[in-house]
Amino acid sequence: MSLSRVAAGRNSVMTDAPLIRFERVAKVYGKGETEVHALAGVDLTINDGEFVAIMGPSGSGKSTAMNILGCLDTPTSGRYFFRGIDVGTLTRSQRALLRRNYIGFVFQGFNLLKRTTARENLELPLIYRGDSVAVRRKQALKALDLVGLSDRADHTSSELSGGQQQRVAIARALVTEPAVIFADEPTGNLDSARSHEIMKLLTELNRTRHMTIVLVTHEEDIAAYAQRQIRFRDGKIASDAATKTAAAQ
């Protein structure tokens, strides 16, 4: 399915447009005395193939920005463009199709079905997409191979270590061949050694497969794997710069 079909013909695809663009995006929660400005007119561009870390203290707006980027929430004002499509013009169903076909998610808590095999966990998003049994199996095994777990295809999640479960979660994000992966604190439940294994895997996927990755983290050593660090404060972007550590690698 093309993004033009997601948009139901109301917009045209701009292949030379940035993958992601915010124009003065604001998000307000509550009213009156309880009103909170989670985002205050943010401008942001992320291009294909970038590896970006989004950082900031609690309440800075980074999680709100990620929810809007992932089409899990909508701005109060401003515009969000995905490959040149104004996401604000899409219906709820069209936004769901955009998430299903173009966006992969990795979460801190893995979100795997414990009594289901790794392969079956990967096949779930393909079932929702309507793929055949043969296609689902082929894509699932291909994604597991990408994260080095082809030999664990028939193991249930409860039989895997924390690091292996996060690898399965990354494979699940990859299985639909998305345009971008949004990773929200993907190392939050892992020890230091497993955390760096996961970050090396994400770095390799970015480098060899040109996978666009947007990572939310509060850990400096994890953010150092990204090529670019965007820091939020008080609902605004406080800084946006290349990562010195990544540039030196």
The token pair that represents 155 in the structure block: 């193991």
Record the pTM: 0.88
As a whole number, the mean pLDDT across the chain is 89
Homologous superfamily of the 3-248 domain (CATH): P-loop containing nucleotide triphosphate hydrolases (3.40.50.300)
Does residue 32 or residue 68 have the better pLDDT? 68
Q: Tokens 């291909």 appear where?
A: 142
The burial class, CB within 10 Å (0-12 / 13-18 / 19+), for 45 is middle
Residues 6+ apart with CB under 8 A from 42: 22, 24, 25, 26, 61, 65, 78, 235, 236, 237
Q: How far apart, in whole angstroms, are the C-alpha atoms of residue 211 and residue 213?
A: 6
Tell me phi and psi for residue 22, to 5 degrees: -100, 135
Residue ranges covered by each domain of the chain: 3-248
Kindly tell me if the per-residue pLDDT of 158 is higher than 70: yes
Q: How far apart, in whole angstroms, are the C-alpha atoms of residue 99 and residue 74?
A: 13
Find the DSSP H helices in the chain. Answer: 3-6, 62-69, 92-102, 118-129, 133-146, 162-174, 192-209, 220-223, 244-248
Q: How many CA atoms lie within 13 A of 125 on its CB side?
A: 26
The full length of the chain comes to 249
Task: Provide the b/e sequence for 9-21 (b: ≥16 CB within 10 Å).
Answer: eebeeeeeebbbb
- Per-residue confidence band for 10, with pLDDT thresholds at 50, 70 and 90: very low
Mean pLDDT over 211-236 rounds to 95
Mean pLDDT over 93-122 rounds to 91
